[in-house]
Structure 1
Amino acid sequence: HIKITGYANEYTQRIMGRSMQSTIVIIKPDGRSKMGSILKMIINEGFRISELRMLKLPASLVEQFYQKKKDSLGFAALVTYMSSSPVIALELINNEGVDRMKDLCGPTDPDQARREAPASIRACFGTDEAHNAIHSSSSVEESRLERELLFGKHAPASNSSTDTAVLKHSTCCVIKPHAVRDGKLGEIIEMIEGEGYTITAMRMFRLDNINAEEFLEIYRGVLPEYTDMVSEFVNGGCVALEVVGPTKEDTPQDFRNFVGPMDPDMARQLRPNTLRARFGKNKVQNAIHVTDLPEDAPLEVEYFFKILAA
């Protein structure tokens, strides 16, 4: 990643400053079961994800969020709906990000979207104006306010009312930085959902060396790749998931089988339908970390969603 610390001239600053924009998106409760496909559409449009968090929104935050609709007829129903079950909040960055995201979402009414913008997210996944799969910022100013509410210093704390992790019959899956950077997040989630798994918690983390070493401690001295594994974990944003499978108590073992062997080349030969066969590059950049031992699953989920998220 390149960090821009200054501009050569005023023109570059004006163009760059104006064109790269952050926008806020919420995948609504009705869009959650399609989040893999929705994220894939967003990523394919060139958006980079800088923040991602699944959470239950407090009603008070929803009221602030939709402040400008507070006098409209359906306001109370909207607040109830948006605070009824988990959503996925995202900060996205792209060239002219706010307008491009609005175009990708399509008109608020999904029926209108199907007529006027049939390739838009709401045309594909929306039902009606409230259940239209997705919210996106309507202006640069609004995106700043929304970012402050969801990801700023007054963002909802991680606690029992906002957390979504169930910590039962679940396992931990971490989509590694290289796979996130390569734009594979949506496809990976789509494949996980397609296999009948439910994602019950999800958040983007940027780990430091201490966290990564602590999390991967069980591999120290066991795997020769340990040091490289730590380096990969700290090389950008990773996305941690809590996953629950259809078989409930067998989830850790079943999901590990679905992720496939640590070596993607071996996975491609022996288990071509696994996640690592499809998305892995080598033993270190193998797209996914998954809990190896079923008894470690609650500990690994808690490490991300209770300790690091606190």
Structure 2
Amino acid sequence: MVKDEYTLVLVKPDGVKTRHIGDIITRIERKGYNIEALKMIEPSEEKLRQHYFDKVDKPFFPELLEYMTEGPIVGIVVSGTNVIQAIHNMAGATNPGEAEWGTIRGDYGREWPDGNLRNIIHTSDNVKSASREISIWFPEFNIKDKQ
């Protein structure tokens, strides 16, 4: 039997600023997935360094840090069968200019003249990263207690 998974969704500052929080939650709920936790977050540099630990040494990290601190983000823990891959697919390609219509990034994202990649949403890409990311943004949420 397949058990439910948990994944993290972050509505990034551009998604919050352009008022797409409700649109994103609606898409998740229409697919029948469960919202387990939800909160508005003022992301700190420390948490962003933990979250993007594999990108801290990249030349684009300062721009990523600047983008992710432009405003609040919304963190959402979502559960359901094979939810990690489903939500990742729902988000669309990382670059909003390449994302297909019908995906969150394809419908709500776009490229900007400053060259910063603002792509509306973050989704976990596998079970290990989902668990790690949830523990960063929702330290009070214990996945092990839910299974």
Deviations 1:259-289 (A, max 9, x none): xxxxxxxxxxxxxxxxxxxxxxxxxxxxxxx
Are positions 1:134 and 2:134 aligned together? no
Amino acid at match of 1:53: K
For 2:89 and 2:33, the matched residues in 1 are separated by 13
Divergent runs of 4+, >4 A: none
Alignment partner, residue 12 of structure 2: 28
Larger radius of gyration: 1
Alignment partner, residue 151 of structure 1: 138
Amino acid at match of 1:54: M
For 1:153 and 1:40, the matched residues in 2 are separated by 25
Deviations 1:181-233 (A, max 9, x none): xxxxxxxxxxxxxxxxxxxxxxxxxxxxxxxxxxxxxxxxxxxxxxxxxxxxx
Give the secondary structure class of the aligned counterpart of 2:77: strand
Q: Give the alignment partner of residue 106 of structure 2, picking from 100, 118, 123.
A: 123
In structure 2, list runs of 5 or more residues that go unmatched: 142-147
Amino acid at match of 2:93: P
Amino acid at match of 2:53: Q
Q: Are the equivalent residues in 2 in contact too, given 1:110–1:123 (CA < 8 A)?
A: yes
Larger RCO: Structure 1 or Structure 2 (Cα < 8 Å, ≥ 6 residues apart)? 2
For 1:47 and 1:36, the matched residues in 2 are separated by 15
For 1:43 and 1:131, the matched residues in 2 are separated by 24
Q: Give the alignment partner of residue 52 of structure 2, picking from 58, 66, 71.
A: 66
Alignment partner, residue 82 of structure 1: 68
**Larger helix share, 1 or 2:** 1
Alpha-carbon RMSD across the aligned residues, in angstroms, is 1.5
Give the secondary structure class of the aligned counterpart of 1:130: coil
Structure 1 residue 25 displacement after superposition: 0.5
For 1:78 and 1:136, the matched residues in 2 are separated by 16
For 1:127 and 1:26, the matched residues in 2 are separated by 17
For 1:99 and 1:31, the matched residues in 2 are separated by 21
Aligned pairs for 1:242-261 within 5 A: none
For 1:125 and 1:108, the matched residues in 2 are separated by 12
Q: Give the alignment partner of residue 26 of structure 2, picking from 20, 30, 40.
A: 40
Aligned pairs for 1:147-186 within 5 A: 147-153=134-140
Q: Are the equivalent residues in 2 in contact too, given 1:59–1:80 (CA < 8 A)?
A: no
Structure 1 residue 83 displacement after superposition: 2.0
Aligned pairs for 1:164-243 within 5 A: none
For 2:87 and 2:109, the matched residues in 1 are separated by 16
Alignment partner, residue 144 of structure 2: none
Q: Give the alignment partner of residue 87 of structure 2, picking from 101, 107, 130.
A: 101
For 1:22 and 1:34, the matched residues in 2 are separated by 22
Q: Give the alignment partner of residue 110 of structure 1, picking from 66, 76, 96.
A: 96
Corresponding residue pairs, total: 135
Alignment partner, residue 145 of structure 2: none
Structure 1 residue 71 displacement after superposition: 2.5
For 1:45 and 1:111, the matched residues in 2 are separated by 25
